[in-house]
Chains A and B, each alone.
Chain A
Amino acid sequence: GNSVTQMEGPVTLSEEAFLTINCTYTATGYPSLFWYVQYPGEGLQLLLKATKADDKGSNKGFEATYRKETTSFHLEKGSVQVSDSAVYFCALSDLGAYGNKLVFGAGTILRVKS
C-alpha cells in the first residue's frame, strides 16, 4: 500500500539556520503531496502542497518540490525562526472510491533555539 517515510527527529537548529526535513513516499498512481504542521497545543494545519510532478509548494518561507523520479518531497526553509518549532508531517493523498484520505509519515519534531 501507499506509505510515507520521513526523517526521524528531533531536529534541533539555531535561529537563522537552514532546514531540510526529508520525505520519501511509495504510491501507486499520482498522489498529491502535503506538509502539515502541528504547533504546540494546536491542531494540524496544512503548510503547503503539490499536486503533480515538478510542482513546488511554498508557504511562510517553507518550500517543497514534488520529485517523481526520486519519489521525494523534502521540506526546506532558508532561515528558521524560534516560532517554527513544531512537529512537521509529510503526507500523501490516497484517492479512494470516494475521497482523499491522507497517509502520513511519522512526524519530525523541530526545535529552534534562539
Chain B
Amino acid sequence: GAGVSQSPSNKVTEKGKDVELRCDPISGHTALYWYRQSLGQGLEFLIYFQGNSAPDKSGLPSDRFSAERTGGSVSTLTIQRTQQEDSAVYLCASSSLAGRGEQYFGPGTRLTVT
C-alpha cells in the first residue's frame, strides 16, 4: 500500500470495555511498532514485531495490553478493561531492513475512554 494505515481513526469507549486497534503496515516491511502518544507521557514505545521472532513487549504498560501480528502483516493491539488513563493516540509504524530502516508512521487511532 501507499503507507501505513490504521483503523479506526477515532474510538470512544466506556471504561471497562475491551477495544481492538488495527494496523496495516507498508507492504514488505518486516518490522512493526506500536507507540502511544498521550498528554501526560508524550510518545512511548509499546511493542515491536520483527518477522517471526518473539515480539519485544517491554513497553506495554500493563497486562491489559496485548498485541498480535498475523501472517507477518496486519497487527491488532487489544486493550482489555479500558481505563481513563488509556485515552491517547495509538500510533503504528513499520520499517524495512529488519527494523533498522526508517520508521514510517500511520495517522494513529485516537482512543477516548469515558
Contacts and interface: CB of A to CB of B under 8 A. Distances in A.
Nearest to A36: B105
A46 B93 CA distance: 12
A105 interface: yes
Interface range for B: 20 to 34
Interface stretch (B17-25, B43-51, B64-72, B80-88): B43-51
Interface in B59-103: 59, 91, 93, 95, 98-100, 102-103
B57 to A, nearest CB: 11
B1 interface: no
B99 A98 contact: yes
Interface string B1-26: 00010000000000000000000000
A94 B91 CA distance: 18
Contact of B105 (A43, A95, A99, A103): A43
Give the interface residue-count category, chain A.
20 to 34
Contacts of A95: 100
A106 B42 contact: yes
Given A43-B106, A98-B50, A103 B98 contact: no
Contact of A98 (B53, B91, B93, B106): B53
Contacts of A49: 102
12 contacts: A43-B91, A43-B106, A44-B91, A46-B103, A94-B45, A96-B58, A98-B48, A99-B48, A99-B95, A100-B95, A100-B99, A104-B43
Given A102-B35, A102-B103, 11 more contacts: A44-B105, A46-B103, A89-B43, A94-B45, A98-B50, A99-B95, A99-B99, A101-B59, A103-B45, A106-B42, A107-B42
Interface of B: 4, 31, 33, 35, 42-45, 48, 50, 53, 56, 58-59, 91, 93, 95, 98-100, 102-103, 105-108
